[in-house]
């Protein structure tokens, strides 16, 4: 894509994610189910945190495009590096994980992740904006331009650290409230829950590797090294 086209796309994507994140954090909850939006608010859900992550990523991407358009290449370099790190380590694997894991569990038993009582709180379009549209956006970003991935060890350490932070947040909420962020977690014994978290981490790592594979397959090693 031309830089001007990229700038327009990244600006629109940023506005979209900002709007969706704003919509979910300002939703009317007078008739909310008692088990949701209490301690930690919406910020305990990976889906909502992912919306903020995507908004930050597309904001950084738009800034990089603007700096390139106005020929501020020295300033653009660290912004582009931050953009690529955000996309490779977090934006792509987390979006893919959110979409695929949510709809897999929703199809199996929606009460485990998205109780039917939420249908009266969260509009249909917002559900799909949070859980469906995130994957096409991530794939489109790979098609739009090449991204430099960090060294594999560095990328996986950063991804693992962020996953550790989220799991710690989930466990902290349980220790305070006695309630799990997602009803699914209540089905497991402590060893089973540890195994579930480990399996989830393995899945998100596989999405990281898949993103890197797609990026290299579409753009080629020479383009990524230029």
Range of lowest pLDDT (33-37, 41-45, 137-141, 188-192) = 33-37
Range of lowest pLDDT (23-32, 49-58, 71-80) = 23-32
pTM of the predicted model, to two decimals?
0.91
Category of 39 on φ-ψ map: left (φ > 0), alpha (ψ -120 to 50) or beta: beta
CA–CA dist 97, 20 (Å, integer): 18
Give how far the C-alpha of residue 143 lies from the chain's centroid of Cα atoms, to the nearest Å: 18
Domain ranges of the chain: 3-25+40-219
Burial of 130 (0-12, 13-18, 19+ CB in 10 A): buried
Q: Which residues contact 130 (CB under 8 A, 6 or more apart)?
A: 20, 24, 47, 48, 50, 51, 98
Does the pLDDT at position 90 exceed 70? yes
Mean pLDDT of the chain: 90
Q: Which residues contact 106 (CB under 8 A, 6 or more apart)?
A: 113, 114, 131
């Amino acid at each position: 894509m031309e830089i001007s086209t990229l700038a327009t796309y990244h600006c629109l994507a940023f506005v979209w994610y900002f709007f969706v994140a704003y919509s979910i954090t300002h939703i009317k909850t007078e008739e909310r189910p008692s088990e949701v939006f209490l301690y930690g608010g919406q910020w305990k859900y990976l889906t909502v945190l992912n919306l903020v992550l995507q908004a930050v990523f597309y904001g950084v991407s738009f800034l990089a495009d603007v700096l390139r358009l106005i020929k501020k290449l020295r300033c653009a370099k660290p912004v582009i590096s931050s953009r690529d790190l955000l996309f490779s380590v977090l934006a792509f694997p987390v979006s893919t994980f959110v979409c695929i894991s949510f709809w897999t569990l929703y199809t199996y038993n929606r009460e485990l992740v998205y109780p039917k009582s939420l249908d009266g709180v969260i509009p249909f379009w917002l559900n799909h904006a949070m859980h469906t549209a995130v994957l096409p956006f991530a794939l489109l970003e790979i098609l739009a331009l090449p991204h430099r991935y960090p060294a594999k060890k560095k990328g996986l350490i950063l991804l693992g650290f962020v996953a550790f932070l989220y799991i710690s947040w989930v466990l902290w909420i349980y220790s305070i409230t006695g309630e799990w962020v997602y009803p699914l977690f209540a089905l497991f014994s402590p060893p089973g829950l540890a195994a579930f978290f480990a399996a989830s981490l393995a899945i998100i790592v596989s999405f990281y590797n898949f993103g890197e594979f797609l990026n290299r397959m579409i753009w080629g090693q020479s383009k990524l090294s230029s």
